[in-house]
């Protein structure tokens, strides 16, 4: 019997186990900073008898059940799909449309200049390693060690909105496209991450928040504090071990929060690794930056 496989292309996550219940499929494992996996599931095996199609919620889950990411996917039985293809297949048709090839191939200088504000015109691959502040500058302790041996830091919540939905487009990006606010690789890079340090310099702060489309009012961050903008997580605890800080919280599908740490106990002349982690010690995001920026 023929089978249809559901292929899942997975980045930055190591799948260790797959479980299915009703209309949910849980890919259980740990998030990683890099890597790729392809996981396949036989679609017929997911469908109950006499059921030809069914929509499933597919979730990335940490070992203790914290959702990291999710998608919805429609599963279809092979026999039903084959029948649908046979009934709806149409013959190709062709038309003779004369195109001015020379006109299409001519490059428009003004258009190229405009496009350069949105897409990279140079050749080559841009990857997430070029995201600002995401470089790995040194060896770090594992998260469990920081949790066990580190010191807990007090923090202030300057903004908390559990229902906040991060914009995928904001009109201000188009209005400031010449500043790079609409540059696609930069927008992708920003959306790969959920942890940001809020710059002390007002111009840099305005540029960051504008790039993120974040214009909500929040309590001021004092001169002796360092602030972090966190998406899709509610911070519960902050722990420091040497120059490594972990922000432990509960992940969610929505939400934005700004927290501030007192900088008096954190020297600003050092580079710090700041990690956003789940209660079961899985890293969601990280930063490597000096607090003086």
Asked if residue 184 is part of any domain, the answer here is yes
Asked if residue 237 is part of any domain, the answer here is yes
Distances (CA, A) of 14 to 4, 21, 250, 257, 282: 24, 21, 20, 28, 11
Mean pLDDT within 120-130: 79
Provide the residue count of the chain. Answer: 293
Q: What is the model's pTM?
A: 0.84
Q: Are the C-beta atoms of 60 and 31 separated by less than 8 Å?
A: yes
Q: Assess whether 272 and 142 both reside in one domain.
A: yes
Q: Are the C-beta atoms of 252 and 162 separated by less than 8 Å?
A: yes
pLDDT of residue 97: 47
Instruction: Kindly tell me if the per-residue pLDDT of 253 is higher than 70.
Output: yes
Q: Assess whether 63 and 202 both reside in one domain.
A: no
pLDDT of residue 196: 95
216-241 per-position pLDDT tens digit: 999 999 999 999 999 999 999 999 99
27-36, 126-135, 137-146, 180-189: which range is least confident on average? 126-135
pLDDT of residue 166: 96
Alpha-carbon Rg for the chain, nearest whole angstrom, is: 24
pLDDT of residue 92: 61
Residue whose tokens read 């201000």:
172
**136/182: higher pLDDT:** 182
Q: Whole-angstrom Cα distance, residue 109 to residue 104? A: 14
pLDDT of residue 265: 65
Asked if residue 116 is part of any domain, the answer here is no
pLDDT of residue 51: 84
Q: Are the C-beta atoms of 173 and 181 separated by less than 8 Å?
A: yes
Q: Assess whether 57 and 164 both reside in one domain.
A: no
Dmax (CA) of the chain: 74
Q: Assess whether 151 and 37 both reside in one domain.
A: no
**9/125: higher pLDDT:** 9
Q: How many domains does the chain have?
A: 2
pLDDT of residue 82: 81
DSSP classification of residue 48: P
Asked if residue 187 is part of any domain, the answer here is yes
Which among 30, 87, 16, 37 has a CA at the least distance from the CA of 283? 30
Report the percentage of the chain scoring pLDDT > 70: 87
Asked if residue 91 is part of any domain, the answer here is no
Asked if residue 118 is part of any domain, the answer here is no
Asked if residue 104 is part of any domain, the answer here is no
2-37 per-position pLDDT tens digit: 677 889 999 999 999 999 998 999 999 999 988 999
Mean pLDDT within 136-164: 91
Q: Assess whether 284 and 150 both reside in one domain.
A: yes
Q: Which residue range forms the structural domain that includes residue 52? A: 5-83
Mean pLDDT within 39-59: 88
69-118 per-position pLDDT tens digit: 999 998 888 888 788 887 777 656 555 444 555 555 555 677 778 888 89
Q: What number of other Cβ atoms are within 10 A of residue 255's Cβ?
A: 21
Q: Assess whether 249 and 180 both reside in one domain.
A: yes
Q: Assess whether 173 and 243 both reside in one domain.
A: yes
Q: Assess whether 272 and 211 both reside in one domain.
A: yes
Q: Assess whether 73 and 218 both reside in one domain.
A: no
How does the average pLDDT of the chain come out, rounded?
A: 87
Q: Assess whether 168 and 262 both reside in one domain.
A: yes
Confidence of residue 292 (pLDDT cuts 50, 70, 90): low
Asked if residue 102 is part of any domain, the answer here is no
Beta strands in 163-243 (DSSP E): 195-198, 225-241
Q: Considering 48, 67, 83, which residue would you say is the last residue of a domain?
A: 83
Q: Assess whether 268 and 139 both reside in one domain.
A: yes
Q: Assess whether 52 and 173 both reside in one domain.
A: no
């Amino acid at each position: 019997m023929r089978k249809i496989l559901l292929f899942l292309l997975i980045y930055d996550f190591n799948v260790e186990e797959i479980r299915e219940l009703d209309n949910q499929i849980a890919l259980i494992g740990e998030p990683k900073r890099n890597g790729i996996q392809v996981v396949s599931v036989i679609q017929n095996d997911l469908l109950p008898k006499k059921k030809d199609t069914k929509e499933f919620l597919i979730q990335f889950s940490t070992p203790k059940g914290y959702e990291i990411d999710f998608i919805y996917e429609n599963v279809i039985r092979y026999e039903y799909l084959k029948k649908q293809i046979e009934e709806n297949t149409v013959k190709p048709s062709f038309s003779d449309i004369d195109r001015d090839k020379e006109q299409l191939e001519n490059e428009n200088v003004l258009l190229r200049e405009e496009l350069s504000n949105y897409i990279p015109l140079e050749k080559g691959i841009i990857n997430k390693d070029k995201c600002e502040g995401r470089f790995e500058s040194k060896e770090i302790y594992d998260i469990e060690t920081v949790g066990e041996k580190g010191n807990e830091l007090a923090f202030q919540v300057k903004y908390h909105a559990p229902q906040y939905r991060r914009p995928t487009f904001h009109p201000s990006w188009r209005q400031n496209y010449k500043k790079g606010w609409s540059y696609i690789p930069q927008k992708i890079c920003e959306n790969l991450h959920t942890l940001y340090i809020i710059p002390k310099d007002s111009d840099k702060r305005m540029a960051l928040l504008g790039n993120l489309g974040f214009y909500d009012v929040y309590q001021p961050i004092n001169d002796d504090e360092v602030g972090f903008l966190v998406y899709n997580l509610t911070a519960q605890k902050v722990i420091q071990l040497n120059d490594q800080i972990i922000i432990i919280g509960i992940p969610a599908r929505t939400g934005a929060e700004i927290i501030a740490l007192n900088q008096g106990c954190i020297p600003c002349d050092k580079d710090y690794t700041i990690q956003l982690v789940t209660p079961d010690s899985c890293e969601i995001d990280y930063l490597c930056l000096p607090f003086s920026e």
